[in-house]
Structures are given as C-alpha cells and as structure tokens.
Structure 1
Amino acid sequence: MLDEDANGPQPTFVLVRPQMGENIGAAARAMLNFGLERMRLVDPRDGWPNQKAVAMASGAGRVLDGAGVFDDLPDAIADCDYVYATTARSRELAKPVRTPERAMAEARAMRAEGKKVAVLFGPERAGLENHDVSRANAIITVPVNPDFASLNLAQSVLLTAYEYGRQTLDYDHDVMSLAKTEFATQVEVEALAKHYEERLDEVGYFFPETKAAGMKIVMRNMWTRLALTRADVQMLHGMLRQVFRKLG
C-alpha cells in the first residue's frame, strides 16, 4: 500500500534495488538530518526488514519504520506527479538535466502546490538502469570530478536532502510555472505507454524483434520527458482510439 503524506510537504526518496542494509540505514540518517522521512524501497536485495539497516540508522529508525516496500519501480512511483532520477553517468536517453539545487527548488515548489514528487536513487554497484531512468521526468546530476563521478548511495541521498532542506520560498517564474502544472500521475502515463505499445505491436512497429525492448524504453522515456498533463494524456488516448477506429 502506498504510504500517506502525513509528514508535511516533502518529496519521497526511492531507493531502487538497494544492495546493502548498511547503506539503507545510512540513507535514512542522511534524510532525517534534513527533516525528510518519506522513504520507499524497491526490491531490496537482502530482503526487508533488515537488521543491518536498523543498526546503521541509529536515531533515524522511524524513517525505516515508515518505509514503503515495493516489488517494482512502477508500483513505487504510481501515485507520483513528477519523478527525478539521480545519475552521474551519461545516458542514451534524452532528459531535462538538473543540478540538485535546481531540482530541489522545483520539488519544493511542486510540493507546496500539493503535488507528489519522488527522487530515485540506484543500487550501489552500477546505479539506475536505462529502464529505470526512462520512468523519470528529469535527471539530477551532481557536478563531480568526471574522472571519479561515483557517489556512495548515502552520500547522494545526503546531498539531495541538504539541497531540499536549505531551499527558500523565493521561487523564480519557471519554477512556479512548473509547480502549477497539472501533471498526469505516473500510473496514468504508464497506462498511456501501454496503450501505444499494444497498438503499435498490432501493426508491427517494433521491428526487428531483437530491437523491440530498446525501442519501447526509448518510447517510455519520451512520454515521461514530455511531463504530460492529464489533459494531454486524455487527448493522446483519444487520438489513438480514433485512428484505429477509422482503420478498423
């Protein structure tokens, strides 16, 4: 079950396939340092609950106690309006790129408008995969040393939480415009993506078969990159239905 927003207007930090309980606990401590308590876990490698996470969290145990646990990423972000993916690696997928400072200014403004915002953090070994990043609306990249760009999971969480915690309410015009947008939720975007995939499968668009999976990731990336509104989603569903109605 998706957790309720009981701790005020704050983003949800989603740890995707975390590998070590110690890093989950350290991430919880980093979050609570800046007043953030909303954590979700996607398929933690060593299961949940995890005593090593509890030991490392120390006084931040309540973050772990309230953490939602999900089998996959789509379920974990289904109720979210806007999603950031943290990554230090260059990607094949085109996305808006934000510094942590800019992203958290946007996140705070969106949360003030009542929107649900999530930030994705990848597993320790290799970070988020392309299929994870494709489900985000924008990327957060830290301007680190290009010859040593890897951040520990807890360090990445700490840096992002710090930027959220220090933001003021003095937003610029672009940030406020974004915050006031009536975004489609991730579950609505997911339904749109599936609708198009199913219809395009019917007409043999995803060809050759060996490239089909990659083509679908690129298409899903397009939908999230567009930051669609609910009206956009309804229009795109209607356009596709009308085309196939005429063809049928």
Structure 2
Amino acid sequence: MKFLTSQPLLAVDYPAGREDIVKKRIEKLERYGISLEKFIAKGYRGTVFSGKMFPPSYFSTPIKVAVKFARSDVDKVNFLLKEAEILEYLSNNDFVPAVYFYDKDFLVMEFVDGEPFDSKTFLHRKDFKEIVSVILEKCYLMDELGVEHTELKGKDHIVVNRFSVKFIDFESAKFAKSPRNLFQFLGAHLFNLPDDALERKGINVERVKKGMKTYKENREKGLKEVLEGLNL
C-alpha cells in the first residue's frame, strides 16, 4: 500500500471513509494476492482502482487488474454480485473483461487497456468505420444474449485497443427480453454526428436507418443492412 496516500485509500469505502472497513477490505484483497496501485475513477455506485494480482507461483508474472469497490451510500444492495453474474454469463465472448474474484464489497477483474470510444474524436481516424462495425457486431451479440448494458451512450464504457473492443462498467446492466444495445450505440455515437460528416466518410445514413427498422423484426438481417450502410 506504499503507492497510495491516505486520501485515495479512503475511496476504498467512499464516501464514508471508515478506516476499519478500508483496512478489512485491503487485508482481504491481500489474502488473495491482490494489491492496489492507483485510484482511477469514482462512479455512481462504486470506485475503481488499478492493481496487481500475484499468482501463487513465484515465477509467474503479476496480472494487472481493476478493482471496483461498492460505495457506502448506494441503496442497491449487492449490485457488484449482479455485475459479476452478468460478466460471467458473457465470459465466453471477447468483449467483456474477465472476472477473477468478487463478493458483495468488491469485484476484481481484468484491467482493460485502450482508448475510450468518442465518435467525435474517432471520426477523424481512417479506421473509423471499421471500429464502428466491430462495436456494432458486439452490440448485436449482446442483444442476442439478452443483456442490456444501459450505459453505452457514455463515452467511457466502450474501450478500443486497435481493433479490439471491450465494454466495461456493467454495474447498471440487466437481463432483458428486448435489449437495445445496438440502438443505444447508434443513437449516441453515430447519429450525434452531422449527416454531412457521416456522408463524407462514405456512410449511407438512410441505409443505416433502414437497417435499424429491420433490426426490430430480424436482428441478423438488420445488422447486415446497417453494416452495408457503412460502405466498408
């Protein structure tokens, strides 16, 4: 814990900052070979640190992890258990971080490196349409699996590393009969851009919108039409 000052340490039990709870959580992590390194973010329901997980073997390389702690002022009980349940349900797919350990107080998972997707920034990249197509395919898969992320409209929940895409922060995610991940992404990250900017990229806006209508009745066919509208 030498890398942390007392102020970031209190975020282990934010906003209460109860020293006994902080100590208990850190000691529990250490029993599992996990040490905290840096405070990363504060959300509506939790706080996140980067850390390292040391495998049992002395010769194994430590694994970089993200550790999320439940906030002390959150009304929803055991939301970390729900987030872990959804991540484990999606674990056979490459678009979510791996889960290593969890309980009601914290969740230890793969640290996802990369750049948060912001369409206004990525629009100027040559591979903009290719990245969008990968994200759309992952949204489609999540829709097919019956999970709604609910926060894909935010720019910090989609992380891009070259052509690898991962969704993070599933604390508000839920199982749903009719998930709207693809619609949410398009509405927040494509149609927030001017039509002329999209057309300069060679995107057929009307074709994409037609594909969205088809998607409501037939996801596979609708996705195909949306991707055709990107003119890759």
The two structures have a TM-score, normalised by structure 1, of 0.28
Q: Which has a greater percent of strand?
A: 2
Please state which structure has a larger fraction of its residues in helix: 1
Based on CA coordinates, which of the two structures has the bigger radius of gyration?
2
TM-score normalized by structure 2? 0.30
